[in-house]
A and B are shown apart, each in its own frame.
Chain A
Amino acid sequence: MPASTAEPTASASQASSESLPSGKPPFESWGRYPKYNARLVQLHWQSDFPSILAGSHEYVLPVGMGRSYGDVCLLKDGVLLQTTGMNRLLDFDPRTGILTAESGATLAQILDFAVPRGFFLPVTPGTKYVTLGGAIANDIHGKNHEAAGSFGNHVPCFEIVRSDGTRILCSPRDNAEWFQATIGGMGLTGLITWAQLRLKPIVSRGIDYEGIQYHGIDEFLELKQRYKNVEYTVSWVDCVSTGKNFARGIFMLGEHSRVPGELKPSPEPRLIFPMDAPGFALNRTSMSAFNAVIFHKQRKPHVRLVQDYEPFFYPLDSVLHWNRMYGRNGLVQFQYVIPWEGAKEGTIAILRAIANSGLASFLAVLKAFGDIPSLGMMSFPRPGIMLALDFPIKPGVTMQLLERLGDMTLDYGGRLYPAKDAAMTPRQFQSFYPNWERFARFRDPMITSSFWERVTDTNGVKPTV
């Protein structure tokens, strides 16, 4: 193992021995698990890092909106550098669609700017409340992976600043290895100060939408094949039902409407999930009922309509803090991709294990990844089937299930997504990402995350609940 990965643990723990006060930690990830104390420092200017640390030797981690689910955006007892105050739009060229922005600009802010000008994000995840820097650092993907690849494929260049103050301009031509290490590099290679993003033209906010019910993985694969030329495809899958309803779902297709429409900015969300739901709210009965409602909400097996892009891409963004639904213990996500060789068999086996566990909830997504290679050394997407779903944290149960599902993923040749993870073991991580030691050479010596500390820990310590 390269030296740079060996040193951080000792002083990260000495940095602060204060235990987490009973109240809220200063910064939570979207899954609200695990909860760690840290010092939160706001960055407002590109020149703030590293000078804002004033020679302190604490470990740091750049973070954005905290929408990754597990601990890639956490650093226990360290310093979190939140970039959201660094959100200036530095340049936009309507001829090329290239926007240059500081890394703390959110995709929501970029949409507010771009949509009225007739442009849209080249790739968008299921929430617009993520920063540009975070989208690069996790090389996020969207419903158009088959047509567009992942986010990093649309980033012509960016700058990172290292903790020693060195600035590195990264593009496929300049410092290409730093470019590859930083895309999907989980923020560990340095602070991304600004980046360019190639936006794409649209003529309407509307999405021509189709929803098609399916039963089982074969039908899913058939639909995927039939609609392989449609830009956006995704499916919701029922992970609770067994028997004849096993792996039923709704296959969703969308394309930007070609009929010119009004390009006004989106309204502010009005609904807020007001407080933590009690622990008993999510159980097998309520989840079965919920899944049946989602499946049958679409009355006919096949519907077509024109939908605004907000509910199509960001159905959950309309309720702020929806993660409180999982109560104060929080949730974990499980997201794999399995390459085509083992994709069908693996997906059926894992869906069966999930349904039998009785732990699944209702937010499950099944989708195919296309063949466009991601540019990052540590990027998650690869051709195959991707499944993502949430589990409520149940002490003594959830983590054990996740370790088993991780091992099954490994057996079928797949891998898990660090941005969603709070559970993969060092052994699993190092098999999923055989490049990790090469990547580690690009990590900034002062930057680390709780995720990185966990999955590179060779003592084999497992996370526990």
Chain B
Amino acid sequence: MRMELIQPFINAADAVFSESLQAPTKIADLSMDEETYRRKGIAAHIHIKGEIEGRVILDLAPEVALRVAAQLAGSAVTESEQVARETVCELANMVIGNSVTLLNDQGFRFKVFPPEIHMNDQGLAGSADTEAMVICMETPCGQIYLNISMHYLHRRRKERDTAPALD
């Protein structure tokens, strides 16, 4: 688990949630997970491929998604599955966009795929080496979960490991 690859996502999520919801957020819980991911509610699954690879899952209970939707829209919203899905997508896009900016400006090149929304009862299977950090963020609208698994591309990691140390 590479914290330098995960920290930008946590920082971006904190900034996006507190700005969008107009209130401070805090990390309520932090844990490691190697199992197949089990959704808490509506989950946006984003794949990242390139010099750094992995996936990020942003997960909200439907009632939390609707509260966030009302906050984003600035007024009450129609309670529908479509509204909840769009809300999770929009939040995921903002968090990923901001984190990508931080990582890209550090020199990493990679491609981010559009969010896939999962609402069925199946878990989100990870690969054999999926070791994820699960962050539960407390917001005024309720708890928002981030499940982040990021690593360097193996070829790049080998190149870095064999490079002579600079001092």
- Asked if A pairs with B, the answer is no
| B contacts, CB < 8 Å to A | none
